[in-house]
A and B are shown apart, each in its own frame.
Chain A
Amino acid sequence: MVIVNDRDRVDWREGLTVQGLLDAMGYSYNLITVTVNGELIPEEEYGSAPVPDEARVTVFHLAHGG
């Protein structure tokens, strides 16, 4: 089990990556910043960065404006 944004529970599977998790959750918005257990995952590593079982994942949405 992976917990996303302290709220959503997603089933864990062997070989789960950040991209796999985002796909499983139906994320299509691409301006996001993702951490796994508090560590930032750069965008180019979404396809390779593993998400361990019991991980706490945060997906921040980045909106224009400042």
Chain B
Amino acid sequence: MSGEDPIFARNVPGSTAILAAATVGIAGCGGLGSNAAVALVRAGVGRLILVDQDVVEASNLNRQYFFRRDLGRLKVEALADHLRAINPGVALELHALALRAEEVPRVYAGAALLIEAFDRADAKRWLIEAWCRAFPERTVICASGLSGLGRTEALRVRRAGRIILCGDEQSEASEGLCAARVAIVAAMEANLAIEALVAAATAGS
């Protein structure tokens, strides 16, 4: 269906059908997760599993893909509306819950890969461990170090096995967070996911 959809007319040839058939898990719908989700839906990813327990607060609007009218709404529900406003055909599985490690196998059972988009470093760590334990063959794309201003050159990608991590691996949220820098790293995560999905489908065909 999406291969015919005019919103994807300018897509990279060969990518649309692959992405339409893909399911991506996203853990956290804040600065990283909301912006990554938008990039994935615009690219044509057919199905997302979104997990976040929080509601939209005013302090989120400096970097997260929400609007004033979303204040007080569950992030997963507000984000779902924005994603459907881009592509009404996107399939969304929403989980408004505080994810725990033991729930990772059930919640993300259908996801080909995971985008880690949590805020806290300790949560990032247990999520990476839980994902690798639950899905020994699947990739997890993580972010670490996206705070502060500028320093675009410091944002990089490192890979080890099925773990891909982007960011500067240094800057801390206590420095403050800026939309442009957070969105770069969110887009890096989405870009890596798209690359992995297309590469896997091409290798398997």
Contact = CB atoms under 8 A, between A and B. Distances in A.
B171 A66 contact: no
Interface string B108-152: 000000000111111011001100110000000011111100000
Interface string B148-182: 00000000001011110101111111100100001
Interface centre among A33, A42, A61 (most CB of B within 10 A): A33
A63 B117 contact: no
A63 B163 contact: no
Given A39-B161, A40-B163, A65 B170 contact: no
A33 B171 contact: no
Interface in A17-42: 31-33, 35, 37-40, 42
A63 B125 CA distance: 10
Nearest to B132: A40
A61 B161 CA distance: 16
Contacts of B174: 64
Contact of B144 (A5, A35, A37, A61): A61
B142 A65 contact: no
Contacts of A66: 28, 30-33, 117-120, 143, 146, 173, 182
Contacts, number: 92
A61 B33 contact: no
A61 B166 CA distance: 11
A20 to B, nearest CB: 19
A2 to B, nearest CB: 14
Nearest to B169: A61
Interface residues of B, number: 39
Contacts of B161: 35, 37-40
B165 A31 contact: no
A43 interface: yes
A37 B161 CA distance: 7
B165 to A, nearest CB: 5
B131 to A, nearest CB: 9
Contact of B147 (A33, A35, A40, A63): A63
A49 B119 CA distance: 28
Contacts of A5: 158
B163 A64 contact: no
Interface of A: 5, 31-33, 35, 37-40, 42-43, 58, 60-66
11 contacts: A33-B124, A40-B129, A40-B132, A40-B161, A60-B169, A61-B170, A62-B121, A63-B145, A63-B167, A63-B173, A64-B174
Given A64-B147, A66-B30, A66-B118, 6 more contacts: A63-B144, A64-B120, A65-B119, A66-B33, A66-B117, A66-B173
